[in-house]
Chain A
Amino acid sequence: MKELSLNILDIAQNSIKAQATLVGIELCETETTLLIRITDNGCGMEEAFLERVLDPFSTTRTTRKVGLGLPLLKLAAEQTGGSLSIRSIPKSRSENSGTTVEALFHKDHMDFTPLGDIISTIEILIQGNPDIDFAFTHTMPERTVSLDTRELRAVLGEEVPLNDFSVLAWIREALTEQYAS
Chain B
Amino acid sequence: MKSLEELAQIRERMKNKVALREANGEIRIVVGMATCGIAAGARPVLNALVEQVAKQHLDNVTVTQTGCIGMCRLEPIVEVFMPNEERVTYVKMTPDKVPEVIEQHIKGGKPVVKYTIGAVEN
A is bound by B: yes
Cβ of A160: which chain B residues have Cβ within 8 Å of it? 10-11, 14
Does A97 interact with chain B (Cβ within 8 Å)?
no
A177 touches B2 (CB 8 A): yes
Chain B stretch 59-109: residues in CB contact (< 8 A) with chain A: 63-65, 67-68
Among the interface residues B44, B47, B63, which one has the most CB atoms of the partner chain A within 10 A? B47
Looking across the interface, which residue of chain B has its beta carbon closest to that of A173?
A: B2
Task: Give the A interface residue count (CB, 8 A).
Answer: 35
Contact pick for B7, options A10, A117, A121, A156, CB 8 Å: A156
Shortest Cβ distance from A39 into chain B, in angstroms? 20
Determine the chain B residues whose CB is within 8 A of the CB of A174 once the complex forms: 1-2
Contacts of A13 in B (CB 8 A): 33-34, 67
| Beta-carbon contact of B2 and A10 below 8 Å | no
Identity of the chain A residue whose Cβ is nearest the Cβ of B13 in the assembled complex: A166
Q: Are B44 and A120 in contact (CB under 8 A)?
A: yes
Interface string of B37-59 (1 = CB under 8 A from A): 01100011011001001100000
Say yes or no: A155-B38 contact (C-beta < 8 A), given A165-B53, A168-B50. no
Contact A168 B54 (CB under 8 A): yes
Closest chain-A Cβ to B111's Cβ sits at a distance in Å of: 24
Does B15 reach chain A (CB closer than 8 Å)?
A: yes
Interface code A146-169, partner B: CB below 8 Å = 1, 0 otherwise? 000001100111011000111111
Determine the chain B residues whose CB is within 8 A of the CB of A170 once the complex forms. 2, 6-7, 10
Q: Are A67 and B34 in contact (CB under 8 A)?
A: yes
Provide the bound-state CA to CA distance between A170 and B7, in Å: 8
Q: Most chain-B Cβ atoms within 10 A of its Cβ — which of A72, A168, A170?
A: A170
Question: Is the pair B35, A72 in contact by a Cβ cutoff of 8 Å?
Answer: yes
Q: Which of B1-23 contact A (CB under 8 A)?
A: 1-2, 4, 6-8, 10-11, 13-15, 18
A140 interface hit (Cβ, 8 Å): no
Complex CA gap A151/B1 in Å reads 14
Query: Are B14 and A127 touching (Cβ within 8 A)?
Result: no
Q: Contact at A159–B14, with CB atoms within 8 Å?
A: yes
A30 within 8 A of B: no
Contacts of A178 in B (CB 8 A): 1
What 14 additional pairs, Cβ within 8 angstroms, besides A124-B33, A124-B50, A157-B11? A10-B39, A13-B34, A72-B35, A117-B43, A121-B43, A123-B47, A123-B50, A124-B47, A155-B4, A159-B11, A159-B15, A160-B10, A166-B14, A181-B1
